[in-house]
């Protein structure tokens, strides 16, 4: 009687039980559903617009806008196209966002350090500021600065005069405008050379400190180079710079640079509001650093300022940067509240007036959403690059 051979090898698992195959299958299904849903949405939208006689496309960007804008960073007048209104709104959005990020960062870091001050009064004042500002809606703060503060300033004829060069009234702040003349390129060249020199100096000082342990006064020398070198170039070039001073002409000021109250109110509100959140981020980052680090720095004789700048803050940055990035993103998106007070940002100019006049809702909204998405992704990319640059690297 023949004995049947038994295969001792384990049976191959069915494809359905393979985790990799299941993962690929479900991901493929999800992607297909997303594309199907997107195509269905676009197809229905286009069909509905066609049935109502609404034209589609981006040809409207070449049509004449026919309306004025109170502030523009690029040349603009009512005879230009809707495409130019897009660039006006975009540059105004980028301007207030950049100004807000810089100001909020400076104020937030100062408040964050003040929250941990050994001075009782300083710490409590910083605490009160943070708790009040971050718990009041941003829109109300914008209204406060615009209607309660800036609108109550005197009229142009009764302007607050600062040295005959700066004028403040309910129509804005007027400051002298620098007008460069022939030869000013030498000053720009000197400034660029000074910046390059400071970068090289910083790298050299770091290598020197690692090799000898001696600290070089990089900050003081850098400030001196950045100030003295351009001034020398300015003198050598014969002072190729003139100033256009603002002057009262009729019922308003002419000449110089004007900062409209809409920009000022939005900038102040965004900066102060975001700074209150940044302050708590900085405080938590500093607290996350072990107290042993501070005690070791003091044992080496480092003063409090150097301990904070050289020991605590560099280690706290790994905790600070991720939530700080979120606050930068929030500030850029919160700038869209500008439309509440008439500041001509992208939402007010392009998604507001342009959309109302052209009726191209889908195209205008899509462009606006794409712009804010691009701004957010760009900020995230830059902050991630900076995060990797300052990350603590193990030897």
Q: What is the pLDDT of residues 169-204, one digit of tens each?
A: 998 889 898 888 888 889 999 999 999 999 999 899
What's the rounded mean pLDDT across residues 56-65? Answer: 86
Question: Residue 291: pLDDT band by 50, 70, 90 thresholds?
Answer: confident
Paired strand residues for 160: 168
> pLDDT (tens digit, 9 = 90+) per residue, 234-284?
898 888 888 888 888 877 888 888 889 999 999 999 999 999 999 999 999
CA 257, CA 253: separation in Å to the nearest integer?
Answer: 10
What is the Cα 79 distance to its own chain's centre?
A: 31
Bridge partners (DSSP) of residue 249 are 252
Most confident of 264-273, 295-304, 355-364: 264-273
For the four alpha carbons of 271, 272, 273 and 275, in that order, the dihedral sign comes to positive
Confidence (pTM): 0.84
pLDDT at 393 over 70: no
**pLDDT higher than 90, residue 306:** no
* Res 4 pLDDT > 70: no
**What's the pLDDT band for 14 if we cut at 50, 70, 90?**
low
- What is the pLDDT, as a whole number, of residue 182? 87
DSSP letters along 110-138, please?
HHHHHTT-SSHHHHHHHHHHHHHHTTS-H
Q: Are 259 and 173 contacting, i.e. CB atoms less than 8 angstroms apart? A: yes
Model confidence at 392, in pLDDT bands (50, 70, 90)? low
Residues in the chain: 395
Is the pLDDT confidence value at 133 over 70? yes
What pLDDT does residue 1 have? 47
Report d(CA 293, CA 319) in Å as an integer.
16
Of 123, 54, 9, nearest in space to 359 by CA: 54
CATH 3.90.850.10 fits 82-148+259-390, yes or no: no
Q: Would you state the structure tokens that stand for residue 198, as one six-digit string?
A: 């400071």
The pLDDT of residue 238: 87
Model pLDDT, residue 9: 56
DSSP symbols for 182-216: TTTHHHHHHHHHHHHHHHHHHHHHHHHHHHH-PPP
Mean pLDDT of the chain: 88
**274: its two tokens:** 């975001």
End-to-end CA distance of the chain: 72
Most distant CA atoms of the chain, gap in Å? 122
Neighbouring C-alpha atoms within 13 Å toward the C-beta of 171: 17
- 30-53 tens-digit pLDDT: 999 999 998 888 778 777 777 776
């Amino acid at each position: 009687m023949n004995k049947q051979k038994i295969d001792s090898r384990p049976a191959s698992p069915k494809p359905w039980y393979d985790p990799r195959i299941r993962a690929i299958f479900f991901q493929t299904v999800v992607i297909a559903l997303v594309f199907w849903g997107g195509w269905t949405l676009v197809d229905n939208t286009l069909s509905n617009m066609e049935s109502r006689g609404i034209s589609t496309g981006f040809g409207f960007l070449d049509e004449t806008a026919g309306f004025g804008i109170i502030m523009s960073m690029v040349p603009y007048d009512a005879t230009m196209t809707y495409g130019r209104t897009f660039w006006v709104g975009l540059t105004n959005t980028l301007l207030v966002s950049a100004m807000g990020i810089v100001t909020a960062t400076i104020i937030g870091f100062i408040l964050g350090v003040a929250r941990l001050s050994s001075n009782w009064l300083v710490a409590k004042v910083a605490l009160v500021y943070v708790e009040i500002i971050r718990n009041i809606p941003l829109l109300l703060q914008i209204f406060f600065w615009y209607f309660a503060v800036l609108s109550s300033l005197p009229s142009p004829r009764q302007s607050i005069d600062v040295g005959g060069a700066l004028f403040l009234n309910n129509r804005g702040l007027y400051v002298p405008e620098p007008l460069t003349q022939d030869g000013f390129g030498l000053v720009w060249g000197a400034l660029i050379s000074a910046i390059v020199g400071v970068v090289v100096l910083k790298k050299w000082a770091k290598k020197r400190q690692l090799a000898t342990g001696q600290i070089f006064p990089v900050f003081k020398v850098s400030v001196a180079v950045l100030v003295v070198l351009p001034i020398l170039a300015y003198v050598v070039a014969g002072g190729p710079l003139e100033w256009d001073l603002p002057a009262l002409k009729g019922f308003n000021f002419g000449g110089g640079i004007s900062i409209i109250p809409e920009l000022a109110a939005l900038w102040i509100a965004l900066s102060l509001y975001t700074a209150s959140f940044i302050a708590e981020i900085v405080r938590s980052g500093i607290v996350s650093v072990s107290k042993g680090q501070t005690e070791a720095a003091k044992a080496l004789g480092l003063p409090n300022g150097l301990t904070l700048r050289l020991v605590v803050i560099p280690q706290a940055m790994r905790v600070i940067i991720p939530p700080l990035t979120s606050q930068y993103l929030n500030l850029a998106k919160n700038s869209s509240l500008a439309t509440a007070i008439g500041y001509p940002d992208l939402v007010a100019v392009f998604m507001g007036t342009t959309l109302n006049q052209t009726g191209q809702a889908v195209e205008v909204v899509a462009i606006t959403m794409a712009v804010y998405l691009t701004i957010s992704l760009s900020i995230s990319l830059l902050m991630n690059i900076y995060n990797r640059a300052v990350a603590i690297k193990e030897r």
